Amino acid sequence: MLPTTEFALLRRIATEQSAGRAPSLVAAVVRDGEIIWSGARGSVGGTAPDTRTQYRLGSITKSLVAAVVLRLRDEGVLDLNDPLDKHVPGTAFGAATIAQLLAHTSGLTSESPGSWWERSQGADWAALNATLTPEQAKHRAGRRFHYSNVGYGLLGELIARSRGDGWLAAVRTEVLEPLGMSRTTDRPDEGHARGWAVHPFADVVLPEPAPDAGAMAPAGQLWSCVDDLVRWTAFVGGRTGEVLHPDTVAEMREVAAVDDGDAWTTGYGLGLQLVRSGGRRLAGHTGSMPGFLACTMIDPATQTGAVAFADTTSGVSILSLVLDLIAIADEQEPALPREWRPARTDPALLELTGLWHWGPAPFHLRVLPNGWLNLAPADGPGRASRFRPLGDDRWLGLDGYYAGETLTVGRTAEGTPRHLELATFVFTRTPYDPSAPIPGGVDETGWQG
């Protein structure tokens, strides 16, 4: 990046490390799947950390667990509307759905009963489940967003039973290895940072413990580094490789619950935190464990993201830092738009394009470069959606009002497109074309002056 941009990024992390009194802090900016800048402040074992230094991921672990659950869904092993009891019988929360567990709307308690799990040696599934009595349901399922580490302990058990092996083995073989995240492990490897608590009123530090969380491990067990987290950040942005279809990751980024009221700035999808900031809509996750803070966020629209780690329990505003790094990169060096080039298009699609009318309201139908269709009002806001082909003149709505609905092309006896049927609505080339099957018919007197 330009020297001025690099200095602005370095100054931002230097300010955070100093003001937050973090023993060390390392960060990077990613664009189009590649690191375009990285920097570090402080030290780990007497030397500056780098992009291979391991820190704890904390709750970013949840996103990796969610990816395996979505793989199970895409394979047909489960449905997101399935109650937990269908796959993990014998819990007190069997009526909660898998989707609710993923999105923290199941109503379960936030933390596991007993000793603070993040600083205590964990127990196995049977021991955890024995503590989860009906009293640990704090809200009606589906009522509201209530962050639940316990919920991801349950999802870890679901993965273990569905795969016939532990949740960690599934995450490793189905997510980490395909994405090349070789430095992401359940226990610290060589070259890791130690977690510290910084005294609030003196510049001294205290080592934090890092026990194995047992059955609660899916909520925050993993360790990783900048190089690996950048790969995951690119994945969240849509560079999904063979792990998940991009449409599935886009589904994970959809808002399932809002965390902060009417004009939401933070929310949650299926295993991903969502943030609106500075006109951007970003996806990723934060993570915290005793002695560590971590964050990954990406703007899928610009493909610019950032990651950061610090080895301190508190003091560093890790989410604000990552959002600022993205903003600095995009404001000082915005990505250039892709060059426009003619696209190979099926000539049969061209006859679908152009002006259509929903009643008297004009709409434009365009062919997108990937062969999909886009239907949008000819002027001003309104019901706009993209559609992908299903075959036989049928198209599936992907977003907006018509998400999930089917658009069907109606043709004349000669094969010419005459009308479009969409969720009982009929679009015609002219307003209320009497030759088309207009619901309710068209008055025989026609248009009048």
Per-residue pLDDT reduced to its tens digit, 10-36: 999 999 999 999 999 999 999 999 999
Q: Residue 405: which pLDDT band, with cuts at 50, 70 and 90? A: very high
- CA dist list (Å): 416 to 351, 363, 368, 406, 411: 8, 19, 21, 20, 5
What pLDDT, on a 0 to 100 scale, did the predictor assign at position 240?
A: 97
The answer, yes or no, to whether residue 261 has pLDDT greater than 80, is no
Sequence-ordered alpha helix ranges (H) in 75-180: 98-103, 125-131, 149-163, 167-171, 177-179
If you average pLDDT over every residue of the chain, what do you get? 96
Whether residue 40 is predicted with pLDDT greater than 90 in this model: the reply is yes
Q: Indicate the pLDDT class of residue 338, thresholds 50, 70 and 90.
A: confident
- Count Cβ atoms below 10 Å from residue 67 Cβ, excluding itself: 26
pLDDT of residue 60: 98
Name the DSSP class of 395: E
Q: What is the topology classification, in CATH, of domain 347-428?
A: Lipocalin (2.40.128)
Each residue's pLDDT tens digit, 118-169: 999 999 999 999 999 999 999 999 999 999 999 999 999 999 999 999 999 9
pLDDT at 380: 84
The CATH classification of domain 3-198+218-332, taken from the options 3.40.710.10, 3.40.50.300, 3.80.10.10, 3.40.50.1000: 3.40.710.10
Round to whole Å and give the CA distance between 111 and 90.
20
By C-alpha distance, which of 114, 102, 112 is closest to 155? Answer: 102
Number of Cα atoms under 13 Å in the Cβ half of residue 318: 30
**CATH 2.40.128 residue spans of the chain:** 347-428
What is the Cα–Cα distance from 183 to 449, expressed in whole angstroms?
Answer: 74
Q: How confident is the model at residue 262 (pLDDT cuts 50, 70, 90)?
A: confident
pLDDT in tens, 270-312: 999 999 999 999 999 999 999 999 999 999 999 999 999 999 9
Residues of each domain in the chain carrying CATH 3.40.710.10: 3-198+218-332
Helices (H), 352-438: none
Cα dihedral sign, 147-153-155-156: positive
- Per-residue pLDDT averaged across 417-430, rounded? 97
State both tokens at 78.
Answer: 């489960």
Reported confidence tier of residue 264, pLDDT bands at 50, 70, 90: confident
d(CA 26, CA 40): 4
